[in-house]
A and B are shown apart, each in its own frame.
Chain A
Amino acid sequence: MASVELKNVSKSYGSLEVIDTLNLSIADGSFTVFVGPSGCGKSTLLRMVAGLEPISKGDVIIDGRRVNDADPIQRGIAMVFQNYALYPHMTVEQNIGFSLRMAKLDKPAIAQRVAAAAATLQIEPLLKRRPAQLSGGQRQRVAIGRAIVRNPEVFLFDEPLSNLDAELRVSMRVEIAKLHNTLKSTMIYVTHDQTEAMTLADQIVVMRAGKIEQVGTPDGLYEDPQNLFVAGFIGSPRMNFLRASPSNGSVQLEAGPTLAISGAPSTQDMVVGIRPEHFVFGGDGPQLTITADVIENLGGTRYLYGTTKSGEALIVEAREQTGITSGDQVSVGLRTERALFFESSGQRLKLSAAS
């Protein structure tokens, strides 16, 4: 087990800056998830930790040791790849044992550790097969087996579940969480999928364009995003953003209602964020009138996709409201205490609604 420290690391391909002076510390034994839109540099950052990508500037420190110039094997890391990267010409057993063979362990020791890894992942019956004879989920297990057999200090996962179907993805996600509980190793995990991020992480790192937007616990990011980007990225369906302008002690939404606030914003234009789950039907809070476009019924709950008078799109969770059909005019109440306020530039304003 080991901590991982990134100090002012940068990465550029020629003149293209992919990672820009980034600082991050990852605690020993924690589960850290990198999320962010495609191309923001998540994989690059992970591969810099792995030692697969040279570091242009800054330091990568694993377990207190600067490893910029160390080979992957000297860093004590193991990696699970998105497309599994199993060696097609080797059996499952040989795949899992390959790193031990490279480390020149003797045959009985390899066999014993491969068996232990296989037992952890319940893939003993597959040991004699080749990757081509496995299903996607089984391949993923073997890929994880290949990582755990080495007892690495740090596990690196690059979108390990994105090639699996939805159902398998959920069950593998649970297994990875269990694995982390048992092994207690440091894990760094890259994903697009914010549900994976929310459910697995101790610490989420939200990235954009080679920079960190915010680091925090899942709850912290959900409750207290520092800017529009993070607010929009965390939470599903995503947070609604409504244009507004401040006036004395209150905020006037273009879509209709006025919210009373404490504190005085200094900007002209601002954005009010409110999550779909923070609306109420009825009640005495400020009311928004929307035209229902589509109602998505998920069984347990339903989402109402509508348009405000000001022409802004809005998603509202409507758990109990069964009667609404598209085209209806609906009035929904805002839970103002959950509303967040942003400058139009994106920065969060530390205001709260006055009750």
Chain B
Amino acid sequence: MANKNLKAAGAHSMAILASLVMVIPIYLIAVNAFKSRAQASAMSMELPTEWHFENFSTVIAQGKLWTSFFNSLLYATASTAITTLVSAMAAYVLSRARTRGRRFLYLFIIMGIALPINYFTLTSVMQFTNLNNTRLGIILLYAATQIPFTVFLIYGFIETIPKELDEAAIVDGCKPLSLFFLIILPLLTPVLATAAILNFLGVWSDFIFPLYYLNSSANWPMTLAVYNFFGQFQQDWNLVSADILLTILPVIVVYLLGQRFILSGLTSGGVKG
């Protein structure tokens, strides 16, 4: 009995240690965001001797945080909405009508999970379509690059919806669009939530497309703004920390609210294999 308790205690200590290792860097940012410049220069774990709440207002003003916040929000929500909808539509007809051609099309699309992007020729495409350095261009880029994984995720889920439901709906008078939007889409809610959360977090965290394709700082998302801010204020770790904290706060909130869906989506057959 004692042996068992000891084992459990050991296991818990290890799990707590692992969790601490994951959380300490975030804690580090959180405490240093409130320190003075001098105290933050060491980036230590101790609590602030004085609490400098004004760090945040400084950062918001200096780092044009509102603009970049709204840019990030726009990019993440718009591209997520587009990807999720078009992927669901594609996955649905590809999964339901299994002809050879459609099977090939499905494999062709999910091949994109592995393929790299050619940034050079993509620039030409962006210029050709007049999308370079535009918000719409970034949104479409994100939407396009998330399609393969999203199609894959939803395709697997659609197989679990019995085809008789489609037939019942057809007998009830549904046309393809009403069948999809009134019957299928509502039943996809769980997997759509997973896809949307993963895509939202993915776009919010990315800074590569803006780095390549947005040269006007007015269009920058938070990640790129933080990076730029860091370049300017390398010595002010209190401000850098405050900026980082404000950038990851939305991520952490969305993650904590949606972690249930991330988990169920990643583990429901699909990725687990």
Which residues of A line the B interface, CB within 8 A? 50-52, 71-73, 77-79, 81-83, 85-89, 98-99, 102-103, 146
Contacts and interface: CB of A to CB of B under 8 A. Distances in A.
Contacts of B168: 79, 81, 85-87, 146
Contacts of A85: 162, 164-165, 167-168
Contacts of A88: 187
Contacts of B165: 85, 87
B24 interface: no
Given A52-B167, A88-B187, A89-B187, A99 B162 contact: no
A72 B171 contact: yes
B186 interface: yes
Interface of B: 162, 164-165, 167-174, 178, 183, 186-187
User: Which residue among B162, B164, B173, B183 has the maximum number of chain A CB atoms within 10 Å of its CB?
Assistant: B173
B172 A102 contact: yes
Report, nearest first, the 9 A-B pairs whose CB atoms are least far apart: A102-B173, A99-B172, A85-B164, A85-B168, A73-B173, A89-B186, A72-B171, A79-B171, A81-B164
A73 B187 contact: no
17 contacts: A51-B171, A72-B170, A73-B170, A73-B173, A81-B167, A82-B164, A83-B164, A85-B168, A86-B168, A87-B183, A99-B171, A99-B172, A99-B173, A102-B172, A102-B178, A103-B173, A146-B168
The A interface, classified by DSSP as helix, strand, loop or mixed, is loop
Nearest to A50: B171
A103 B171 CA distance: 12
A331 B178 CA distance: 68
Contact of A98 (B162, B164, B172): B172
Contacts of B172: 73, 98-99, 102, 146
Contacts of A102: 172-174, 178
A246 to B, nearest CB: 52
A146 B168 CA distance: 10
A103 B178 CA distance: 12
Contacts of A81: 164, 167-168
Nearest to B161: A88
User: Which residue among B167, B169, B178 has the maximum number of chain A CB atoms within 10 Å of its CB?
Assistant: B167
A28 to B, nearest CB: 21
Contacts of B178: 102
Nearest to B172: A99
B171 A73 contact: yes
Given A71-B173, A98-B169, 19 more contacts: A50-B171, A51-B170, A51-B171, A52-B170, A71-B170, A72-B170, A73-B170, A73-B171, A73-B173, A79-B167, A79-B171, A82-B164, A83-B162, A83-B164, A85-B165, A85-B168, A99-B171, A99-B172, A103-B173
Nearest to B168: A85
Nearest to B186: A89
Contacts of B183: 87
A89 B190 CA distance: 12
A51 B183 CA distance: 19
Contacts of A99: 171-173
Contacts of B173: 71-73, 99, 102-103
A83 B178 CA distance: 22
A50 B168 CA distance: 11
A102 B186 CA distance: 17
B90 to A, nearest CB: 22
A146 B165 CA distance: 13
B187 A77 contact: no
A52 B187 CA distance: 22
Contacts of A73: 170-173
Contacts of A52: 167, 170-171
A68 to B, nearest CB: 16
